[in-house]
Chain A
Amino acid sequence: MATYFFGDTAVLTGRTLRHVTRSPDTVITTAIMPVALLLLFVYVLGGAIRHGSGTYVSYLLPGILLITIASGISYTAFRLFTDMQSGILERFQSMPIARSGVLWAHVLTSLAANVISLVLVVGVALLAGFRSGAGLLAWLAIAALLVLFTLALTWLAVIAGLNAKSVDGASAFSYPLIFLPFISSAFVPTGTMPGPVRVFAEYQPVTSIVNAIRDLLAQQPVGSNLWIAFAWCAGILVVAYLLASISYRRRIS
Chain B
Amino acid sequence: MLTFMSISSAINQAQGSVTQGPAIQVQGLEKSYQELRVLRGVDFEVARGSIFALLGSNGAGKTTVVKILSTLLKADTGTARVNGFDVAAQAADVRESISLTGQFAAVDEILTGRENLVLVARLRHLEDPGVIADDLLQRFSLTEAGARRAATYSGGMRRRLDIAMSLIGNPPVIFLDEPTAGLDPEARIEVWHAVKELVAGGTTVLLTTQYLDEAEQLADRIAILHQGRIIVHGTLAELKQLLPPAEVTYVEKQPSLEDVFFAVVGDPK
Contact = CB atoms under 8 A, between A and B. Distances in A.
Given A11-B123, A253-B72, 13 more contacts: A8-B123, A15-B119, A18-B111, A23-B110, A86-B108, A86-B109, A88-B108, A90-B100, A91-B106, A91-B165, A94-B95, A94-B99, A95-B123
Task: Name the 10 nearest CB pairs between A and B, nearest first.
Answer: A87-B106, A94-B100, A96-B95, A87-B102, A91-B106, A94-B70, A11-B122, A96-B96, A88-B106, A87-B104
Interface in A1-43: 1, 4, 7-8, 11-12, 15, 18-19, 22-23
Given A11-B122, A18-B110, A252-B72, A94 B98 contact: yes
Main SS at interface, chain A: helix
Interface residues of A, number: 24
Contacts of B96: 96
B95 A91 contact: no
A172 interface: no
B107 A22 contact: no
A92 interface: yes
A93 interface: yes
B73 A11 contact: no
A215 B70 CA distance: 54
Given A11-B119, A90-B100, A19 B110 contact: yes
A15 B108 contact: yes
B239 interface: no
B100 to A, nearest CB: 4
Contacts of A91: 100-102, 106, 165
Contact of A90 (B72, B95, B109): B72
16 contacts: A8-B123, A86-B104, A86-B107, A87-B102, A87-B104, A90-B102, A91-B102, A91-B165, A92-B123, A94-B70, A94-B71, A94-B72, A94-B99, A95-B99, A96-B96, A253-B72
Interface string B1-35: 00000000000000000000000000000000000
B111 A15 contact: yes
Interface in B119-150: 119-120, 122-125
Interface of A: 1, 4, 7-8, 11-12, 15, 18-19, 22-23, 86-88, 90-97, 252-253
A97 B122 CA distance: 10
Nearest to B95: A96
B231 interface: no
Contacts of A7: 125
A41 to B, nearest CB: 36
B125 A4 contact: yes
B196 interface: no
Contacts of B125: 4, 7
B214 interface: no
A91 B99 CA distance: 8
Interface string B233-255: 00000000000000000000000
Contacts of A1: 92
B124 A95 contact: yes
A81 B57 CA distance: 28
A27 B99 CA distance: 35
A28 B240 CA distance: 62
Interface string B72-113: 111000000000000000001001101111111111111100
Nearest to A82: B109
Contacts of B73: 253
Contacts of B71: 93-94
Contacts of B43: none
Contact of B74 (A22, A95, A97, A253): A253
A252 to B, nearest CB: 7
Contacts of B72: 90, 93-94, 252-253
Contacts of A12: 123
A188 to B, nearest CB: 42
B45 interface: no
A152 B120 CA distance: 30
